[in-house]
Chains A and B, each alone.
Chain A
Amino acid sequence: MTTATPAGPGARARPVVTGLGVLSAAGRGLDALTEAAVHGKTGFGSVTRFDVSACRTTRAALLPADVPLAHTVPLARAVLDALAQACRQAGLTAADGADTPVLLALHSDLRTRATARAFGAGVSAAWGTRGVTRVYTGACVAAATAVADAAALVAAGRHERVLVAAGHLVEPGVFAVFDAGRALARDGEPRPFSAGRTGTLLGDAAAAVVVEAAPAAERRGAPALARLAGWGRAGDAHHVCRPEPEGDGLARATEAALARAGVAPAEVGYVNANGTGSALADLAEARALHRVFGRHTAQLPVSSSKSVHGHALEASALLELAVVIGALRAGRLPVNAGWLGPDPDLGLDLVLDGPRTARPRYALSLNSAFGGANTALLVAPA
């Protein structure tokens, strides 16, 4: 990656989001996703894309039929669609792209490099970038890590603008291995933080954001959609795939995001939790929230939008950042769908009915992954 220093070496700049594009089970665009999230309209249905008859769980949140995927590399097409939405909203043209890094989050499999190549060719042709700068494959924090790195590059004055994109389409191999690993909800509904939760459901998603230095966006007359106030990344140092039971790594990632922004815990007014619907992981996350927010936890609205759009794995963090930005702009909080009743061990103020009106000064998007990886993105209204 070449290093542009438009603001001068070492100059600090606030990173903002000036463009956002998304495809999800709710359809195309942020408005459809926000509408589904704040009303708790779930996108789950029977998987018809491939044969799931041998699996215990047969449901997922797939893109609606009117979202075209016909392409030799369907995932690349979907992510290019999201990126085009984001770039158009940000008012970018191909002339702006030459020195703009492109960070892409994808699942690591036999098709990763082919998808990255197809996406890179498309983004170069349409938006003038030099292909894909870096591909993140770090499971369910891949996209959040990319956003944090983009924000760090912009904040340090190394780039005026960074494009971040991610995609995941439900496919036979990952679906079957998650089913075999008993990670999918046996009753066909993800129920984050609920009594009786039995696992997650997978979801399709493609998402993209334009992360830009606030002064550069102002110079271009590009309105900011939201501000990336802070970010943090930390590891559990605990297990190959199980979370640290007290949520230690997630708490440290969250504390890092708050410290970077100079924001007190009591200033946070909403958390879009990782909330996969896993018995162990949801409990660890609730403990992390109690550790970071203390008594404020009782007044802190929490939900997991995975309950609406499913778990999009490497794309999940960018999809969920989109939900947070949509909620902040709408002044309504996403609903934690699928809830059956309280889990007395959690003690969270879950958003159970929607739409709930709120104007948080800051909102958090949290993600955790295999390997004990944790990320926190702190978002503020523009």
Chain B
Amino acid sequence: MTTDTTPLRVLAEAHWPDPGHPGPPPPLPGFAASGFNPMVADAAERCLRAHHGEAPAPGRTALLLASASGDLATARAIDQGAGPGRRMAPLLFFQSNPNAVLGHIAARWGLTGPVVAISPAGAVPGQVPADALGLAALLLADGDADQVLVIAAEPADPAAGASDSPEHPDSTGEFAVAVLVTD
């Protein structure tokens, strides 16, 4: 999808990894077993801080997470936890879908717009898929949000086989990019 008839304005952008912020992302209280959610939260945090300074953010900001692979480590832990003779870690329930980390970001920054998660057909490291920007434009044009924080993120897993298209190969390294947009 192209980005609607209304061009989006980028208000702020942040990436993980970022040479200016070396080392792993800060741990995320309540989340375990996976580096995916801390990475998403860190990119979102730095993007929102770049534009707003401190929480809360004014107005209605939507959250849109786009990830072709999703949180593979959590998905694997859930599959394994259901195996014969295994016991499921209760904490995995709280991160069993992509909305969970968005709820953390929304609560911290007071983001009251729509909360949306999509799985695009492929991923290009460091880039937000065009379809995610198209959906952000639709949410803005439709009137349920004043700004949209779009986060594209992929875990490190070259064997994931998530990509559907040869021109968009699987990422070979984990990344997250957060872009705050408006119309």
Contact = CB atoms under 8 A, between A and B. Distances in A.
A176 B120 CA distance: 27
Interface string A128-155: 0000111111110110010011001100
Interface of B: 1-2, 5, 30, 60, 62-63, 67-72, 75-76, 78-79, 81-82, 84, 87-90, 92-104, 106-107, 109-121, 131, 134-135, 138-139, 141-144, 161-162, 164
A1 B117 contact: no
Interface stretch (A89-97, A236-244, A263-271, A357-365): A236-244
A214 B72 CA distance: 42
B90 A182 contact: yes
Interface in A166-188: 172-183
A247 to B, nearest CB: 13
Contacts of A372: 103, 106-107, 115
Given A108-B75, A138-B115, A233 B162 contact: no
A39 B109 CA distance: 45
B99 A145 contact: no
A371 interface: yes
Given A2-B2, A172-B82, 13 more contacts: A109-B79, A132-B121, A136-B116, A137-B117, A138-B115, A145-B116, A149-B138, A177-B92, A178-B93, A233-B144, A240-B104, A370-B103, A372-B115
B89 A240 contact: no
B75 A110 contact: yes
11 contacts: A109-B75, A113-B68, A113-B162, A134-B131, A137-B118, A176-B82, A234-B60, A234-B114, A235-B62, A370-B100, A373-B116
Chain A: interface size category: 35 or more
A338 to B, nearest CB: 22
Contact of B119 (A3, A108, A179, A249): A108
Interface of A is mostly: mixed
Contacts of A116: 119, 121, 164
A150 to B, nearest CB: 10
A9 interface: yes
Nearest to A109: B75
B70 to A, nearest CB: 4
A1 B131 contact: yes
Contacts of B30: 240
Nearest to A238: B107
Interface centre among B139, B144, B162 (most CB of A within 10 A): B144
Nearest to A9: B5
Contacts of B84: 51
